[in-house]
Amino acid sequence: MNGLDHTYRYPAPSLVSTHAGEHGIYLATDTPPEAQSTTQEAFFEGLLLHPFLTAQLLGALARVVGSRFHIPPAMLTRILAQSDPVVTSGGGLLRFEGLSGCCSAYARVDMAPESYRGEVVRHGTTNVDFNPEMRAALAQLRDGQRVGLAVGGEQLVLRSEGREVVERKVKLPLRWLKAFVELQHYQQRLEPRLRLGRVELMRLLRALPRATTRGHFWLVPLRGGGVRLSPRAAAEGVKLAGLERLRILETLAPLADGLTVFADPAGEASEWRLDCGPLSFSLTLSADVWRGFSGEGQALSALTQGASEADVAALRAQLHWQALLTPAQLRTASGLDSARLTPALARLGALGLLGFDTAHAAWFHRRLPFDLAQVEALHPRLDAAQRLLREGGVTLRQASAEWIEGDVRGSGVLHRVRIGAEQAECDCLWYAQHQLRRGPCKHILALQLFMEEGEGR
């Protein structure tokens, strides 16, 4: 399994401390090399107004990060090490994000300003250390306790007076970076489909099979209210696979006001959002447990074509750690019309600078704590397409206002590729199996690169 060598430098372990009857949560953050100094500013310091609820939601996110719902046979002896969640401070919100080890499940906890009393010291995105002791301590917190939260380690000395930086060298999974980049492409397509109250939600979760499931199911609404699971396809239902992934919600259901289910019309993903007053917990699931978001390719076209560098720069200049950015706001701020805004947004999303909030149909600014310069190099299909282009494996046949046609070299055969405004086609095996559900094949990408670089004009 490929990985990116990355050294986390935590000034101290994350912990829950008690002093004079007051409980404090300290989440240690990773310090990037360019920001290392003798002190480390906090993102946030304050008191939790709902300590039990907050602790339960963060504990559930940690369980997602520590889970693997699918283990390919070839990986039984090469399981990825657990990675630490990502936290973004922006616009008054604290957002905690994480992925399961197989990248088929993504979880996010959103903390609105009403959930705490404190001060957002600065904005940014970083990793936080969720060690076993931290997760155990979170599980013991209760309402009525005075609990403080600090994201970061303000004024902590990294190396002085006997204090040592806690270094933990890990093999940072490239799958995480790829999955984060792909997620927002699926989330933009999700539509609200079902709304369940607390009682209906708990009834659904109790009815889930206890054993690991195979195949697809559909969550179908009932006329009198509620839902049922069916093994048969239903146009009005939500397509699911790997029902065991929903058990993450079991401990949270009694704490929620209700659940909203969002679904992709094509059945390629779904999102389950628990509303818990000033906090929320979102669980986004891929179409199958064996389909990690990291293996999809929806972002590939955004990395090959579309937005001009000037448009991307104009849009990027409007990013100031906002918690919500609607298309209307971005059009007004950047001066880009919809035709130019859409590809520019796709490009910034592909670079890891935007996440998507499904419930509000809006983006939020964050900068993933990875080397974003490596994003394009992480996609084998894109790398193969670039190699085809370099080796002269693309030939333009014809170009019109409706279609661009070309021949792209394959393994001992030329593949015919056609690209239109809304569709692309290839006669290769990958396209026959997936069409564009998992992004374009390398041959379509190669022709897109060919036209984008102007060689076909």
The predicted pLDDT at position 72 comes to: 54
Task: Note down the domain range covering 352.
Answer: 301-374
What does residue 237 show for φ and ψ, rounded to 5 degrees? -95, 170
The predicted pLDDT at position 217 comes to: 93
Give the residue from 391, 423, 433, 436 showing the smallest Cα distance to 409: 391
CB atoms near residue 456 (< 10 Å): 16
Indicate if 388 and 339 belong to the same structural domain.
Answer: no
Indicate if 354 and 329 belong to the same structural domain.
Answer: yes
Last residue of a domain, one of 350, 374, 398: 374
> Tokens in use for 283?
């669980």
Q: How big is the chain by its Cα radius of gyration, in Å?
A: 23
What does residue 80 show for φ and ψ, rounded to 5 degrees? -65, 145
State the amino acid at position 130 in one-letter form. Answer: F
d(CA 196, CA 246) in angstroms, rounded, equals 14
Looking at the domain assignment, is residue 359 inside a domain?
Answer: yes
Residue 321, C-beta contacts closer than 8 angstroms, at least 6 positions apart: 88, 89, 90, 91, 123, 124, 365, 366
What CATH number is associated with residue 370? 1.10.10
- Beta carbons of 12 and 134 less than 8 angstroms apart: no
What does residue 360 show for φ and ψ, rounded to 5 degrees? -105, 0
Looking at the domain assignment, is residue 388 inside a domain?
Answer: yes
Indicate if 338 and 403 belong to the same structural domain.
Answer: no
Looking at the domain assignment, is residue 183 inside a domain?
Answer: no
Tally of domains in the chain = 2
Indicate if 445 and 426 belong to the same structural domain.
Answer: yes
Residue 440, C-beta contacts closer than 8 angstroms, at least 6 positions apart: 297, 300, 301, 381, 424, 426, 448
d(CA 329, CA 210) in angstroms, rounded, equals 46
Q: Count CA atoms closer than 13 A to 368's CA, side-chain side.
A: 25
Q: Count CA atoms closer than 13 A to 336's CA, side-chain side.
A: 24
Looking at the domain assignment, is residue 437 inside a domain?
Answer: yes
State the amino acid at position 377 in one-letter form. Answer: A
d(CA 50, CA 183) in angstroms, rounded, equals 29
Return the residue matching tokens 């004079």. Answer: 20
Last residue of a domain, one of 325, 351, 374: 374
Last residue of a domain, one of 374, 400, 416: 374
Dihedral-angle region of residue 413 (phi above 0 means left; psi in -120 to 50 means alpha; beta otherwise): beta
Q: Count CA atoms closer than 13 A to 213's CA, side-chain side.
A: 19
If residue 419 lies in a helix (H) or strand (E), which one and from where to where?
strand 414-420
d(CA 168, CA 288) in angstroms, rounded, equals 33
- Beta carbons of 116 and 150 less than 8 angstroms apart: no
Edge-to-edge strands, sheet with 238-241: 227-230, 216-221, 238-241
Give the residue from 175, 147, 135 showing the smallest Cα distance to 51: 147
Looking at the domain assignment, is residue 412 inside a domain?
Answer: yes
| DSSP-derived 3-state class of residue 141 | coil
Looking at the domain assignment, is residue 327 inside a domain?
Answer: yes
DSSP letter for 79, please.
Answer: P
Indicate if 314 and 361 belong to the same structural domain.
Answer: yes
The predicted pLDDT at position 153 comes to: 35
Indicate if 405 and 390 belong to the same structural domain.
Answer: yes
What does residue 361 show for φ and ψ, rounded to 5 degrees? 50, 50
Average pLDDT by consecutive 10-residue portion of the chain (457 residues)? 51 64 63 41 74 91 80 44 72 89 91 85 73 74 76 34 34 70 88 94 91 88 88 90 92 95 91 96 92 74 73 91 93 90 84 91 85 64 87 88 88 90 88 85 90 62
Looking at the domain assignment, is residue 390 inside a domain?
Answer: yes
Looking at the domain assignment, is residue 249 inside a domain?
Answer: no
Indicate if 383 and 370 belong to the same structural domain.
Answer: no
| DSSP-derived 3-state class of residue 318 | coil
